Amino acid sequence: MEVTLVQQNNIFDDFARVAQLLPAPIYWLDKRTAHLCGNKRFYSIVGFDENADDFDELNHKKHAPEFTTYKSQVFNEKGEVVGLVGTLIEITDDKEAQRFKLEEKEKLITLARTVAHDVSSPLSVLSMMMQVCDELQEEKRLVINGAVASIFDIANSLLNTYRNGKQGPVLAIEPRTPLLISDLLVQLLSEKRAQYSDRSIRFESAIDDDAQFAFALMQVSQFKRSISNLINNAADAMVDRSDGVVTVKLAVNTKSVMVAIQDNGKGISRSMVEKILNRKSFTDGKEHGHGIGLQQVWNTLDDNQGIMMVNSHLGVGTSIQLTFPRVEAPSWIAQEIQPLAGSIVVILHDKESIHGAWDMRFKSYLMAYPKLRLLHYRLVQLALAFFKTLNPADKERVIFLIDYELISRHKGGLQIIEESGIKNVILTTCHYADSNIRDRAARLGAKILPKQMASIVPIKVAKD
């Protein structure tokens, strides 16, 4: 703001009269910063008597620390500076708001760290109990173990993110590792069927054949929470339906993996779709929602080079597709079983149902290749005794399919592999994401087959 004076004294007289009528604190200074005029509001703030002759312009800052100064030069008709006109703007509310935000932030940090710390102890007990809970069916153990692992991930993420309350949030950097997308989706759907068992919602998967062994480089727990949140949103969209269906689809091309969560719920309006795509949180239809789920999905997209597409029609349903870069399958994965026509396939597992399943998988191959043999063992000692009877050439013809988690627990699957002396080994386990298991299996020359993939892994018999 610039003010030009034609007659300085006249302007000063007019300004002095007008200033007294204004509610804002206003003052006038000549070019030597001698005090010329201030209204009553100004004097009440700075604590000076309005009859005082002069004062240093900066003094009022000492007496009014909760105000900031805004001023402008005043010019005469020759363009010369003849003084300043200024006002004070109260900043108390802003400072109070900042203090409040900092206090609330500290409270949230403390709460997050406390919850994460306290939940770890009962989870540890539950995890240990699951290790000796052999009476539960394996499928149920897998679901519970998966849920426990997910809660552990969330607790660890909170502890890492809010590692030091005094320093404030610290970004938790989770390593990106190759993730077998199809297996994680199957596990998640198992958890959701248990979570929503009291609701009439079907959870289905539609995984393309060429997507079964597709990998993406992901922050695993973050990705899992994102898909879980989207599935929960889909289930919430069908609160009034008795025929609700949530379908999780997986498709791939040479460069990408596409995960879609589709429901036949109430749908989302176009304005809501735009909010999602423009990263604006909302809690449509959720009484206690906070929009955190979608924020977590956006973070996952940012951290893993993903993109999102949303397609929805009111009264019909919604489909949300996440697309991520595809990476080559890691060397530890058994993408197929490749016996020779004269191979000996040895299966060591303590579950009768698993032996029956492998019989069904190999039935047609046994008929097509008479020299191909399939041997079943339920006891570790008998399997190891058989291997000792083989000469080196016969051992080279063996494909050893062994379960990592044998209920007998006298010896673990990896120890048995080491004692067997067999080189062509496939370890079936639901713990394939454990880097320690992968590293030890690699040292032994064994491939890993995620247990839920055993029913679909391709079998390709080659001629001797």
C-alpha gyration radius of the chain: 35
56 contacts 74 by C-beta, under 8 angstroms: no
**What pLDDT was estimated at residue 289?**
42
Look at residue 166 in the predicted model and tell me its pLDDT: 43
What confidence score (pLDDT) does residue 60 get? 45
CA dihedral 417, 421, 425, 427 (to 10 degrees): 0
The candidate with the shortest Cα–Cα distance to 429, out of 444, 413, 418, 440, is 413
pLDDT for res 154? 62
pLDDT by position in tens, the chain (length 464): 444 444 455 565 666 777 777 777 887 776 655 556 778 877 777 766 555 544 444 444 444 556 667 677 777 677 677 777 778 776 665 555 666 667 777 777 666 666 655 565 555 556 555 555 656 666 666 666 666 666 655 665 555 555 544 444 334 466 888 999 998 998 888 888 878 888 889 999 999 999 999 999 998 888 988 999 999 999 988 877 788 999 999 999 999 999 999 999 989 888 888 888 887 765 555 544 444 578 888 888 988 889 999 999 998 999 999 999 999 999 999 999 999 999 999 999 888 888 888 999 999 999 999 999 999 999 999 999 999 999 999 999 999 999 887 755 556 788 899 899 999 999 988 778 788 888 999 999 999 998 878 888 999 998 87
User: For 293, what's the count of Cα atoms within 13 Å in the CB-facing half-sphere?
Assistant: 17
- Residues 174 and 258: their CA atoms lie apart, in Å, by 22
- Which of 366, 379, 375 has the alpha carbon at shortest distance from 408? 379
Closest listed residue to residue 419, CA positions, set 389, 395, 384, 376 = 384
Q: What is the pLDDT of residue 452?
A: 78
Q: pLDDT value at position 387?
A: 95
Residue 290's pLDDT is 40
pLDDT in the model for residue 180:
93
Contact 421, 385 (CB under 8 A): no
